[in-house]
């Protein structure tokens, strides 16, 4: 159910961005990347519950993916991206396309959690991802500028939410403060240092 909601949210985000924002040329590459992430999320879930896998393999399928599975999926996806860069170039337009899908999909997921599952705790996440989606979709910024600004806004929003409620989630997965702070440090460092061609 959990992975199904993530897949449904990603599909909705991809469909809206591809057909309403003229991003059809990026669809196949984006789908391939998201399929890799979902597979890596399952791998992370299996690794994180290896002892349970030994005792009851079927139970792992129903066990929710935790933050450790998410970190493993993010790390493996990053490695996959670095490997693919040897064969294909990722333009700024494609990266903006991915951010549009990511933020809009996260908004759809939080929307379902709030209005369908009645989880009031996701209100701040819903507002954050809604504003980020509006930023990258409605405001026509240049590619690199949109990437840096939206990532910086996510960092600021995530830290604010951590201060208010003590946790922040993405697709229902709780992100540890150290992970948020590490990403924020990287984003701020890249934003305020001299940008090299292709760094973002």
Mean pLDDT to the nearest integer, 113-127? 72
Query: What's the pLDDT score for residue 197?
Result: 44
The fraction of the chain above a pLDDT of 70, given in percent, is 73
Mean pLDDT to the nearest integer, 35-52? 76
Mean pLDDT to the nearest integer, 19-43? 79
Q: How confident is the model at residue 50 (pLDDT cuts 50, 70, 90)?
A: low
Nearest 5°: the CA angle 38, 39, 41 is 60
* Calculated CA dihedral for residues 67, 36, 30, 172, nearest 10 degrees: -20
Euclidean distance between CA atoms 108 and 130, whole angstroms: 9
Residue 83 CA, chain-centre distance (Å), reads 20
Over 70: is that where the pLDDT of 64 sits? Answer: no
Euclidean distance between CA atoms 85 and 32, whole angstroms: 14
Euclidean distance between CA atoms 175 and 74, whole angstroms: 12
> Strand pairing partners for 168?
175
Cα–Cα distances (Å) from 66 to 2, 8, 75, 182, in that order, read 11, 19, 15, 18
Euclidean distance between CA atoms 189 and 185, whole angstroms: 6
Over 60: is that where the pLDDT of 171 sits? Answer: yes
The DSSP code for 87 is T
Q: Which has more confidence, 109 or 47?
A: 109
Closest to 133 (Cα-Cα) out of 158, 154, 160, 163: 154
Contact 169, 162 (CB under 8 A): no
Beta-carbon-side half-sphere exposure of residue 140 (alpha carbons within 13 Å): 1
On average, the pLDDT of the chain sits at: 76
Q: How confident is the model at residue 154 (pLDDT cuts 50, 70, 90)?
A: confident
């Amino acid at each position: 159910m959990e992975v199904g909601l993530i897949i449904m949210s990603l599909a909705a985000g991809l469909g809206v961005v591809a057909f309403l924002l003229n991003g059809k040329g990026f669809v196949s590459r984006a789908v391939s990347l998201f399929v890799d992430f979902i597979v890596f999320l399952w791998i992370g879930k299996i690794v994180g519950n290896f002892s349970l896998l030994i005792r009851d393999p079927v139970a792992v399928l129903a066990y929710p993916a935790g933050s450790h599975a998410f970190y493993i999926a993010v790390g493996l996806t990053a490695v996959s991206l670095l490997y693919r860069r040897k064969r294909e170039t990722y333009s700024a337009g494609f990266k903006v396309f991915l951010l549009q899908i990511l933020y809009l999909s996260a908004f759809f997921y939080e929307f379902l959690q709030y209005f369908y599952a009645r989880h009031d705790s996701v209100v701040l996440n819903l507002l954050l991802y809604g504003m980020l989606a509006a930023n990258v979709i409605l405001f026509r910024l240049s590619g690199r500028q949109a990437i840096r600004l939206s990532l910086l806004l996510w960092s600021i929003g995530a830290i604010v939410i951590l201060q208010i409620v003590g946790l922040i989630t993405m697709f229902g997965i709780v992100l540890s403060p150290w992970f948020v702070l590490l990403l924020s440090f990287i984003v701020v460092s890249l934003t305020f240092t001299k940008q090299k061609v292709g760094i973002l």
